[in-house]
Structure 1
Amino acid sequence: MAKAILNLETLACPTCMQKIESGVKRMAGVDSDSVKVLFNASKLKATFNEKETSLAAIQKTVEDLGYPVLKAVEKASS
């Protein structure tokens, strides 16, 4: 498992946060319980199985929902 941390453009409303969370939670390979969008920090954190999906796929999902990703970092999960 790996951890994805995405810095997003400033989120305008809590509905944006919910849209991003639900979109990423539906992805195959993403641990839905780990998906958290930090509204004030404009960050998304999620744990995923790198054999099933990738940081790039998570970033694409968020961008396809209409939210630009400023920076995406993958960290090995301990």
Structure 2
Amino acid sequence: MTKIEGALSKKTGVTNVKVLFNASKVKAEFDDSAVSAEDLANVVTDLGYAVQSRKVKPL
């Protein structure tokens, strides 16, 4: 498990995380009543990675 996957998986409301390093993307399934996309982006930036966009698609 990567550092990003581990940190995001610990957030309340996150049910699934997959980091696609070749595409420079993170896919996360989460309950938006428990955590926001902005919260998840902050976790990634706190780890020292840049976040270029915050696209959220409903399942």
Gaps of 5+ in 1: 1-16
What secondary structure is seen at the aligned counterpart in 2 of 1:45? strand
Instruction: Give the ranges of 4+ consecutive aligned residues of structure 1 lying more than 3 Å apart after TM superposition.
Output: none
Please name the residue that 2:53 is paired with: 71
Q: Which amino acid aligns with 1:23?
A: A
What is the percentage of aligned positions where both structures have the same residue? 44
Gaps of 5+ in 2: none
What secondary structure is seen at the aligned counterpart in 2 of 1:28? coil
Task: Compute the TM-score of the two structures, normalised by the length of structure 1.
Answer: 0.72
Please name the residue that 2:4 is paired with: 20
Q: Which amino acid aligns with 1:37?
A: V
More strand by share: 1
Larger relative contact order (CA 8 Å, sep ≥ 6): 1
Q: How well do the aligned residues superpose, as a CA RMSD in angstroms?
A: 1.1
Is structure 2 residue 18 aligned with structure 1 residue 53? no
